[in-house]
Homo-oligomer: A and B are copies of this chain.
Amino acid sequence: MTDLLQSALQPRSVAIIGASDNIHKIGGRPIDYMRRFGYQGSIYPINPSKSSIQGLPCYAGLRDLPEVPELALIAVGADKAVDSVAACADLGVRSAVIIASGFGETGAAGKDMEAHMLQRAQRSGMRLFGPNTQGLANFGSGTIAGFSTMFTEVPPLDGPIGIISQSGGMSAMTYGLLRGQGLGVRHVHATGNEADVTVGEMALAVAHDPDIQLLLLYLENIANPDMLAQAAAYARARDLPIVAVKAGRTQDGQRAASSHTGSLANEDRTVDAFFRQHGIWRAQDPHEQVRAAGAYLKGWRPAGQRLVVISNSGASCVMGADTASDHQLPLAQLAPATQQALGDKLPGFATTDNPIDITAALLSNSGLFGDVLPAIAQDPSADLIFINIPVAGAGYNVAQFAKDTAAFERQTGKPVAVAAWQTNIAEVFKQHGVLTYANEQEAIGVLAQVAKHHQLLQQAAPARPAQAAQSPALLPPHSGPFLSEVQSLDLLAQHGIATVKTLLCTSASEVADAFAELGGQVVIKACSAAIPHKSEHGLVAVNVQDQAHAMALFEQFSAKMQAMGVQADGVIVAAKHKGQHEFMVGAKMDPVFGPVVVLGDGGKYVEALQDCAVLMPPFSVQEAQAALAQLHIAPLLGGVRGEPALDTNALCAIAEQVGALLIAANGRIASLDLNPVMVSANGAVVVDALVECAPGV
**Interfacial residues, chain A to chain B (CB-CB below 8 A):** 24, 101-102, 105-106, 148-150, 152-153, 165-167, 169-170, 172-173, 176-177, 180, 218, 220, 247-253, 255-257, 259-261, 284-285, 287, 309, 312-326, 331, 349, 351, 353, 355, 357, 360, 363, 390-391, 393-395, 421-422, 438-441, 604-605, 607-611, 632-633, 635-636, 640-641
Contacts and interface: CB of A to CB of B under 8 A. Distances in A.
Contact of A247 (B318, B326, B395, B604): B318
B170 A313 contact: yes
A608 B632 contact: no
Given A255-B321, A260-B357, A608 B640 contact: yes
Contact of A604 (B101, B260, B641): B641
Given A106-B349, A607-B640, A632-B632, 18 more contacts: A24-B395, A105-B349, A153-B422, A167-B315, A169-B313, A170-B315, A173-B421, A177-B421, A250-B326, A255-B321, A256-B309, A256-B314, A256-B320, A260-B357, A285-B319, A608-B636, A609-B633, A609-B635
B318 A256 contact: yes
A636 B611 CA distance: 13
B441 A287 contact: yes
B218 A325 contact: no
Contacts of A608: 635-636, 640-641
A393 B153 contact: yes
A173 to B, nearest CB: 4
A16 to B, nearest CB: 19
11 contacts: A101-B349, A149-B394, A169-B313, A169-B314, A220-B318, A260-B351, A261-B314, A287-B438, A605-B635, A609-B635, A632-B632
Most chain B CB neighbours (cut-off 10 Å) among A316, A318, A323, A325: A318
A368 to B, nearest CB: 16
A284 B439 CA distance: 12
A390 B169 contact: yes
Contacts of A357: 259-260
B173 A390 contact: yes
A284 B444 CA distance: 15
Contacts of A172: 390-391
A676 to B, nearest CB: 15
A643 to B, nearest CB: 9
The 7 closest A-B pairs by CB, nearest first: A169-B313, A253-B322, A167-B315, A250-B325, A260-B314, A252-B321, A153-B393
Contacts of A609: 632-633, 635-636
B394 A167 contact: no
A192 to B, nearest CB: 11
B252 A390 contact: no
A607 B635 CA distance: 10
Given A390-B170, A632-B611, A248 B318 contact: yes
Contact of A256 (B321, B349, B640): B321
A167 B313 contact: yes
Most chain B CB neighbours (cut-off 10 Å) among A319, A357, A438: A319
Nearest to A536: B642
A323 B314 CA distance: 33
A314 to B, nearest CB: 4
Contacts of A253: 318-319, 321-322, 325
Contact of A249 (B106, B322, B421): B322
Nearest to A355: B256
A247 B173 contact: no
B322 A247 contact: yes
A165 B313 CA distance: 13
Nearest to A322: B253
A285 B441 contact: yes
Contacts of A636: 605, 608-609
A170 B317 CA distance: 11
Contacts of A353: 259
Contact of A318 (B106, B260, B438, B632): B260
Contacts of A251: 325
A324 to B, nearest CB: 6
Nearest to A287: B439
Nearest to A635: B608
A481 B252 CA distance: 53
B321 A150 contact: no
Contacts of A252: 321-322, 324-325, 331
A248 B322 contact: yes
A153 B394 contact: yes
Contact of A169 (B249, B250, B287, B391): B391
Contacts of A355: 256
Contacts of A391: 148-150, 169, 172-173, 176
Contacts of A165: 315
Given A152-B394, A173-B390, A218 B285 contact: no
A83 B348 CA distance: 23
